[in-house]
Every structure is written in C-alpha cells, then in structure tokens.
Amino acid sequence: MIATKTYTAKEGSKLLLKSYLLVWAFYFSFFMVLGILSKWFPELINNEYKQERLLEMLNNQPIQLLISAVIIAPIFEEIMFRSLIKPSYEDLLLFISGWLSFLFMGFSEGLADWYIRLLIMFGVFIGIYYVLQLLIPKNALLGIQKFLGKYVLVVLIITSLIFGMAHIYNYVESFLLNAALFAMIIPRIVLGGIAGWLKLKTGVLIWPILLHFLNNAFVIGVMLVVTYTLSN
C-alpha cells in the first residue's frame, strides 16, 4: 500500500506537476494508439458521438462553461469520487454532502438561473456538512474508515471506473456502452486513477482537485481560444 505522509506546499506542487505531466503523457500515447488501432477496428471511433451540451455552452454560454467545468466540476467531482479513498472522518462527511448537493442540482434544473442554483448548491453543501458534524460522532464512522482503508486499491479502481462511466452522459442522454464510447471514457478513467493516487499519496483532497482543475482549465481554454479564433 502507498504510504500517506504530510506534504508541504512545495512537495505537493511537485507531485501535482508530475501527475499532470503523467496524465498528458497518457493522453498523447492513448490517442496515437487509438488512431492506429482504428484502421483495423473502425468501431473504436464514432464521429456521431459529440459533447453536444459542452459545445452548446462553448458557443452560447462560455462564462457558465468556465465556472461549471473549471471550478465546480473539479471540486464536487473529486469530493464525490475521491473522498472514499483512504477516507478521514471529514472525507466521509464531504462524500455524503457532495452527493446530496449534486442531487439537489439535478432536481432543481430549470427552476432558477444556473448561477442561483450553484449558489444554493454551495449553501446546501455547507448546511448538510454542518448538520452531519452535529449528528454523526467521529467514532461512528471508524468501521467504515477501516473497511475502506483495508481495500483502498479496490476502492480506487472502482471509483475511477465509475468516474469514467459517469462521463458517458457527456455524449449520450441515456446510459449506453459500446467500443467507441468506452474508448472515449478511458482517458477519464485514467485521470480518475491518477487523481485517486494523489489522494492516497497525500491524504487530502486539495491535490486531486487541483489536478482536475488544471486538466479542465487547459482543455476548456484551448477550446475557447480555437472557437474565438475561428469566429473572427
């Protein structure tokens, strides 16, 4: 098992940079291999699958896209998927609070403007976390912590797979899995695995959140620059 130690800001930053470079080294290698394999297995690439919602926001709601994809997604997705990896008491409360506030966003869609819903979501998240602290004593979660800590690598693998699967909805409205869609989410699974490794290595969520932020910021930034350049 990978040992957890306390990282200074400098040590954590170096580890973050190495992880970020590893992510992009994989992306580069993966898409090269995918391009080669698609010559013999054309079903691995299906140009009909596009991130329609993302493209629509890119063209019509760039500010919402930046806030949602670059700020909100890294925070909440890491809380929802990486907080179970060798969790502390606080991590487990964050996990519950994150999922409940995410469900609130799903049920409240269309009821108010997106920024109001985001503000309310943060309020719901903080409120739930505070209430859970009052209701759940630390010793009540020790059994769950020990169980998840015992099977930490299994948890890392499972949460990375689920994290990748969740991004299928970027391409289709209802769950569907075939060769092309699986190929599209492999980079997300790997990103989830490396973010999970960061959580396991450092013991805190801030580093995987920053990794996720850097990944999304670069991708969305490039897309915005290309879109702006082509439109002028």
The DSSP code sequence of 14-36 is HHHHHHHHHHHHHHHHHHHHHHH
Residue 172 confidence (pLDDT) = 84
Quickly count: other Cβ atoms within 10 Å of residue 205's Cβ.
22
CB-count burial class (<10 Å; 0-12, 13-18, 19+) for 9: exposed
2 pLDDT more than 60 = no
Task: Quick: pLDDT tens for 193-208.
Answer: 999 999 999 999 999 9
**Measured distance CA(169)–CA(175) in Å, rounded:** 7
Q: For residues 17-42, give the mean pLDDT.
A: 94
For residue 1, pLDDT beyond 80: no
Phi, psi of 96, deg, nearest 5: -65, -45
pLDDT digits (tens, 9 = 90+) for 62-71: 899 999 999 9
pTM of whole model > 0.85?
A: yes
pLDDT at 109: 75
Per-residue pLDDT for 3 more than 60? Answer: no
Determine contact, residues 152/86, Cβ cutoff 8 Å: yes
- Residue 57, pLDDT > 90, answer no
Instruction: Read off the pLDDT of residues 125-170 as tens digits, 9 standing for 90 and up.
Output: 999 999 999 999 999 999 999 999 999 999 999 999 999 999 998 8
| Average pLDDT for the chain | 91
15 CB-near residues (< 8 Å, 6+ apart):
7, 198, 201, 202, 207
Where would I find the H helices in 108-178? 114-135, 142-150, 152-166
Q: Are 145 and 152 in contact (CB under 8 A)?
A: no
| Cβ neighbours of residue 135 closer than 8 Å, sequence gap 6 or more | none
